[in-house]
Amino acid sequence: MYLQKLSLVNFKNFESKTFEFKEKINCFVGLNGLGKTNILDAIYYLSFAKSYFNPIAGQNIKHEKTFFVVEGDYTINERLEKIICSLKKGQKKVLKRNGKAYDKFSEHVGQIPLVIISPSDRDLVIGGSDARRKFIDGVISQQDKSYLQDLLSYNKLLSQRNALLKYFAANRTFDEVNLSVYNDQMISFGTSIFKKRKKFLEKFIPIFNEKHFIISNNNEKVNLVYKSQLLTSDYRTLLDKNLEKDKILQYTTVGIHKDDLSFEIGGFPIKKFGSQGQQKSYLIALKFAQFEFIKQQSNLIPILLLDDIFDKLDENRVSQIIELVNKNEFGQIFITDTHSDRIENVIKQSNKSYQIFNL
Show which of 253, 274, 297 is a domain's final residue: 297
The residue with greater pLDDT, 219 or 162, is 162
| 23 and 39 inside one domain | yes
Taking the CB of residue 33, how many other CB atoms lie within 10 A of it?
A: 10
Show which of 274, 297, 320 is a domain's final residue: 297
Q: Is 299 exposed, middle or buried (0-12, 13-18, 19+ CB in 10 A)?
A: exposed
Which pTM value belongs to this model?
Answer: 0.87
| 3 and 63 inside one domain | yes
Question: What's the first-to-final CA gap in the chain, in angstroms?
Answer: 26
| 75 and 202 inside one domain | no
Whether the pLDDT of residue 96 is over 90: the answer is yes
| 189 and 131 inside one domain | yes
Q: What is the CATH number of the domain that holds 156?
A: 1.20.1050.90
- What pLDDT score was predicted for residue 328? 65
CA distance linking residue 89 with residue 156, whole number of Å:
26
| 131 and 103 inside one domain | no
Show which of 249, 264, 297 is a domain's final residue: 297
Q: What is the pLDDT of residues 325-353, one digit of tens each?
A: 777 678 899 999 888 888 888 777 777 78
**Domain total of the chain:** 2
| 109 and 209 inside one domain | no
The pLDDT-based confidence of 173 (bands split at 50, 70, 90) is very high
| 23 and 135 inside one domain | no
| 3 and 106 inside one domain | yes
| 153 and 237 inside one domain | yes
Of 49-53, 145-149, 193-197, 319-323, which range is least confident?
319-323
Whether the pLDDT of residue 299 is over 90: the answer is no
| 74 and 141 inside one domain | no
| 290 and 310 inside one domain | no
| 80 and 33 inside one domain | yes
Q: What is the pLDDT of residues 253-297, one digit of tens each?
A: 999 999 999 999 988 999 999 888 888 889 989 999 999 999 988
Q: How far is CA 99 from CA 33, 76, 87, 222, 282, in A?
A: 33, 16, 16, 47, 40
Q: What is the CATH number of the domain that holds 82?
A: 3.40.50.300
**Domain with 241 in it:** 120-297
Output Rg (C-alpha) for the chain, integer angstroms: 22
